[in-house]
Amino acid sequence: MKYITINNSMKASAISLGCMRMAKLDEKSVDAIMDTALENGINYFDHADIYGKGNSEVLFGEYLARHAGIRDKIFIQTKCAIHDGQYDFSKEHIIRSVEGSLSRLGVDYVDALLLHRPDTLMEPEEVAEAFDVLHSSGKVRHFGVSNHNPIQIELLKTAVKHPLGINQLQLSVTEAGMITSGMNANMKNADSVMHDGSVLEYSRIKNMTIQAWSPFQYGFFKGTFIDNEEFPELNAKLGEIAEKYGISKTGVAAAWILRHPANMQVIAGTMNPEHEYWHLNQHRQATTHWANTIFAIELHSFLLLLQSIFLIRILFIDLLDVWLQYTHLGR
């Protein structure tokens, strides 16, 4: 497993397990997923107070309770500031949200807290006060944001004194606007339109880790582009590279992100055993036990690619070719 340094102190796995869908699982499925992740070197787990209406954190906390000694070996990240269909960056809500997450997770602190989405009504001073209380009380060790652009981050920093070391953003081979806009600078084509204020370059300058969410998805949760008939040329190229190196298309797509010098982290949300079973064995019926087994095999296969930084570097030329060919197709 490749490891990166987040916020100058956390030695985190380059693959984080996104726990948004954990609420749908039973205890046996949670054990299978968590055991597989830990056995393959994943030590960073991403949550949010709203995932599964809090049940994802509850199930994760129950796993920790069943496995003494795990907490000190992993990093737990959660997010806050969305509730009842609205954004809320108030001091009261941020503190209450964190205390709720700690209770559900059954832990004394979280390693990182992110502001889930930008609130146009935010008062930076309130956020700063909340962060000060949470940090001084030992309940949160690091802070960051999610889906924020550089100016929104700078606005927060007018009052927030704690480093903001993380920004969680959508990024995949098909959703690469932060890359394509930069490569089309000073042009008038569609790909030159910048939607995020040069967040990629800003993150590198400020040493903020970009956590890539939905790394195998296209659109806003429309589905995976892997083996999707809507992307024939892309999948042909991914398949060509995958066959060349004896890996999966999913592994190639992950390596494309991890090779970028911005030192990114991929959030893999493969939490549903039934979904993983469908991905590998379409239209075949199976018991829950078999589905869990298939999930473990697929996740392990996916992680094998990440065992070698050297392989990832070798792949970069071909991976860049994938991206260039794909964008040239006029997407």
Tens of pLDDT along 212-258?
999 998 877 678 899 999 999 999 999 999 999 888 999 899 999 99
List the one residue out of 147, 181, 177, 187 whose CA is nearest residue 267.
147
Considering only residues 92 and 271, tell me which one the structure prediction assigns the higher pLDDT: 92
Q: Which residue has the higher pLDDT, 247 or 159?
A: 159
The whole-number pLDDT of residue 177 equals 87
Predicted confidence at residue 272, as pLDDT, reads: 52
Per the listing, tokens 């794909």 go with 326
pLDDT in the model for residue 189: 84
Inform me whether the pLDDT recorded for 267 exceeds 50.
yes
Distances (CA, A) of 234 to 41, 144, 237, 253: 30, 33, 5, 11
Give the residue among 77, 136, 89, 93 at the shortest CA–CA distance from 115. Answer: 89
Residue 116 CA to residue 188 CA, distance in Å, equals 32
Which among 105-114, 170-179, 291-300 has the top mean pLDDT? 105-114
Please, what is the average pLDDT of the chain?
A: 84
91-100, 133-142, 211-220 — which is least confidently predicted? 211-220
Confidence band, pLDDT 50/70/90 cuts, at residue 323 = low
Query: Average pLDDT for residues 41-51, to the nearest whole number?
Result: 97
**Paired sense of beta strands 3-6 and 10-13, if any:** antiparallel
Known catalytic membership, residue 202: no
pTM across the whole model: 0.82
The predicted-structure confidence for 71-87, as pLDDT tens digits, reads as follows: 999 999 999 999 888 99
3, 44, 51, 109: the active-site residue: 51
50-59 pLDDT, tens digit each: 999 999 999 9
Domains of the chain: 3-328 (3.20.20.100)
pLDDT band of residue 159 (cuts 50, 70, 90) is very high
Q: What's the pLDDT at 1?
A: 87
Share of the chain above pLDDT 90, in %: 66
Integer CA distances (angstroms), 173 to 176, 225, 252, in order? 6, 9, 10
pLDDT of residue 321: 57
